[in-house]
Amino acid sequence: MNVLDCIVIGGGPAGLSASLTLGRARRTIALFDDKTNRNRVTQEAHGFITRDGIKPQELKELGLKELVNYPSITYVQATVIEIIKNQSNDRFIVKASNNQEYVAEKIILAYGIQEEFSLPSIREFYGKSLFSCPYCDGWEQRDKPLAVIAEKEEHALHLAQLIYNWSRDLVVLTNGVPLSEEGAATLQKRKIKVRSEAIKNLIGKDGYLQKIEFVTGETIIRSGGFVAPSYYRPNQFAEKLGCELHENGKVITDGVGRTTQKNIYIAGETEKSKPTSLLISAAKGNKAAVSVNTDLTMERF
């Protein structure tokens, strides 16, 4: 079986960027992609210079098209099921959903994170009229009647303060969790309404919000808004491979992608288990790939 220099797990901006950098360094790699990118539900991607407003799938296709120029890159459309470290030679055996096994000297974990919502109905509107990142989607929602849906006070206040820059027509919805007097006063100073009743339903059509209904039966008209999801890693590869984590769940690194486990690197949102921008994820992918190439160079020279 051929031994690859590196396996990159995740076909988002971090994984694509890492793959491109390693391909240009003439390293043999396999990029695994199961098409579960978190931004797959988004209509447009913003803030990526020269590509502002591009559809995420189009951006991904452009990235994949560029990888074709480098024959040492193999693109694998499959889910990684298991990663086993061979203790005798420090190589990794990667088992995938295509019933194939791959062997590599180094691994880059770039499989990202996923969202969880307190209200299941948010998923119906997420990416079209409800969003999580004001920097990504605030401009398109400017001056519209918006809702901030967040149960935790720190999230509600943070989002409201940010979104106030784009729209003054705000209602903060805490879904049954009352704000502290201090928190409510902070919002009232800016005439931002607070509704603490539990939310019964989100009403709209084709992913575009129209109304929000409370358990009391009352409804308010809102055309969109921002939510505060919780985030999780879709698998436990970092933990199972022995990578050390901070108490907050962030994977400990040297700042350029190296984890505490030799030959295991991490990039993009996977590292902090928190959302970030396309630009930052792509930059993290590049840094991790440079670390991989540097280590391979020093080990072999």
Which pTM does this prediction carry? 0.94
Q: Are 159 and 150 in contact (CB under 8 A)?
A: yes
Q: 287: closest CA among 27, 94, 17, 1?
A: 17
Q: Does 278 lie in the same domain as 214?
A: no
Q: Does 109 lie in the same domain as 239?
A: yes
**Final residue belonging to a domain, choices 201, 227, 253:** 227
The secondary element (H helix, E strand) that includes residue 133 is none
Q: Does 103 lie in the same domain as 71?
A: yes
Q: Does 280 lie in the same domain as 190?
A: no
**Final residue belonging to a domain, choices 175, 206, 227:** 227
Q: Does 222 lie in the same domain as 274?
A: no
Cα 297 to chain centroid, rounded? 31
**Final residue belonging to a domain, choices 227, 252, 269:** 227
One-letter amino acid at 195 equals R
Q: Does 214 lie in the same domain as 254?
A: no
The SS3 call for residue 27 is coil
Looking at residue 1, what is its pLDDT? Answer: 65
Q: Can you tell me the distance from the alpha carbon of 292 to that of 111, in angstroms, rounded to the nearest whole number?
A: 17
Q: Does 218 lie in the same domain as 198?
A: yes
104 lies in which domain range? 3-113+233-300
Q: Does 28 lie in the same domain as 90?
A: yes
Gyration radius from the chain CA atoms: 22
Condensed to tens digits (0 to 9), the pLDDT of residues 169-188 reads 999 999 999 999 999 999 99
Which ranges of the chain have pLDDT less than 70?
A: 1
Q: What does DSSP say about strands 101-109 and 3-9: parallel, antiparallel, or unpaired?
A: parallel
Q: Tell the burial category of 248 from Cβ atoms under 10 Å away from its Cβ (0-12, 13-18, 19+).
A: exposed
The CATH code of the domain that includes 188 is: 3.50.50.60
Structurally, the chain folds into a number of domains equal to: 2
HEC letters along 84-101: EEECCCCEEEEEECCCCE
Q: Does 261 lie in the same domain as 211?
A: no
Sign of CA dihedral 282, 288, 289, 294: positive
Looking at residue 88, what is its pLDDT? Answer: 87
Q: Does 134 lie in the same domain as 99?
A: no
Q: 109: closest CA among 299, 232, 275, 288?
A: 288
Q: Does 241 lie in the same domain as 174?
A: no
Q: Does 103 lie in the same domain as 12?
A: yes
Q: Tell the burial category of 285 from Cβ atoms under 10 Å away from its Cβ (0-12, 13-18, 19+).
A: buried
Q: Are 179 and 99 in contact (CB under 8 A)?
A: no
The secondary element (H helix, E strand) that includes residue 80 is strand 80-86
Looking at residue 171, what is its pLDDT? Answer: 98
